[in-house]
Amino acid sequence: MEKILVVEDEVELNKMVSDFLTNAGYLVSSIYSGENFNSEVLNFKPDLIVLDLMLPHKDGYSLLRDLRADNVGVIIVSARNMENDKLLGFSLGSDDYLEKPFSLKELLARIKAILKRCKSPISCTQDFSTRLKINEAQATIAHNGSTQTLTYLQLEILKMLVSNPKNIFSRAQLASALSIAEERTIDAHIKNIRKKLCSVGLGDALITVRNIGYKYEETP
């Protein structure tokens, strides 16, 4: 049974979401502040976290920043709906962002999409020639002895680019292939992927093709 941690300080809303997800067949744990977040993540080992941003003690951004669990999907649910909020959320590793008020059906659809993505990543056989080593199970990339951990979405985007070297993918293509609701957030993901590629010495390989999209091409 897949496990979902609901982090929401509005008691009624928390209960409504938790009951709904329980009825949808998930094992749900609910917390109402950021206080016990890390210990709950450690103990409950959720597959996915539904995370409110404005919380007592610690806001959702700090929680995301401190989140050390691998292989956990995160969907932010917040009344804060500015572009910057979303981009910050994505840069901290969240997989999706749902604005309040939202429909429970929509939440469930997004949750299913993330869990599906987490479970069955696009298969990545390393039959293409690349110096970058991708470890799907650990969600890491490595090159020249340096390793970086990626979020699911970062990994999926990168895999798509790397397994089709020199092919240019538009934002729309990447978004639709990976069921990402908002095309504009691709740029933020790319920026984060590029940072991690830089850390392993392959920052130049992720190329922005002006007005078209992105491609992966290692320089010899």
Q: Which is nearer to Ca ion, 98 or 193 (CB)?
A: 98
Give min distance, CB of 7 to Ca ion, in A.
9
Distance (Å) of CA 10 to CA 53, 110, 174? 12, 21, 35
Stretch that binds Ca ion, among 9-17, 101-109, 177-185, 208-216 (CB under 5 A): 9-17
Q: Which is nearer to Ca ion, 11 or 54 (CB)?
A: 54
Task: Work out whether 9 is an interface residue with Ca ion (CB under 5 A).
Answer: yes
**H/E element, 99:** strand 96-99
- Strand 48-52 versus strand 73-78 pairing type: parallel
Stretch that binds Ca ion, among 29-37, 50-58, 87-95, 187-195 (CB under 5 A): 50-58
Given candidates 14, 31, 49, 52, which one binds Ca ion under the rule CB under 5 A?
52
- Give the closest residue to 24 by CA, choosing from 99, 107, 100, 117: 107
Bridge partner residues of 31 (DSSP): 7
Q: Which is nearer to Ca ion, 32 or 138 (CB)?
A: 32
Distance (Å) of CA 181 to CA 43, 103, 145, 208? 31, 15, 35, 21
Q: Which amino acid is at 172?
A: A
State the chain's maximal CA–CA distance in angstroms.
58
Stretch that binds Ca ion, among 4-12, 102-110, 145-153, 211-219 (CB under 5 A): 4-12
Question: Using CB under 5 A as the criterion, what x/- string covers residues 162-191 for binding Ca ion?
Answer: ------------------------------
Bridge partner residues of 207 (DSSP): 215
Distance (Å) of CA 34 to CA 46, 88, 143? 15, 18, 36
Is residue 46 classed as helix, strand or coil in its secondary structure? coil
Q: Which is nearer to Ca ion, 60 or 213 (CB)?
A: 60
Q: Which is nearer to Ca ion, 52 or 96 (CB)?
A: 52
Give min distance, CB of 207 to Ca ion, in A.
40
Given candidates 42, 54, 177, 181, which one binds Ca ion under the rule CB under 5 A?
54
CA atoms within 13 A of residue 48's CA, in its CB half-sphere: 27
Q: Distance (Å, rounded) from C-alpha 181 to C-alpha 12?
A: 27
Task: Work out whether 99 is an interface residue with Ca ion (CB under 5 A).
Answer: no
Give min distance, CB of 9 to Ca ion, in A.
5
Task: Work out whether 11 is an interface residue with Ca ion (CB under 5 A).
Answer: no
Q: Which is nearer to Ca ion, 55 or 174 (CB)?
A: 55
Interface with Ca ion (CB under 5 A): 9, 52, 54
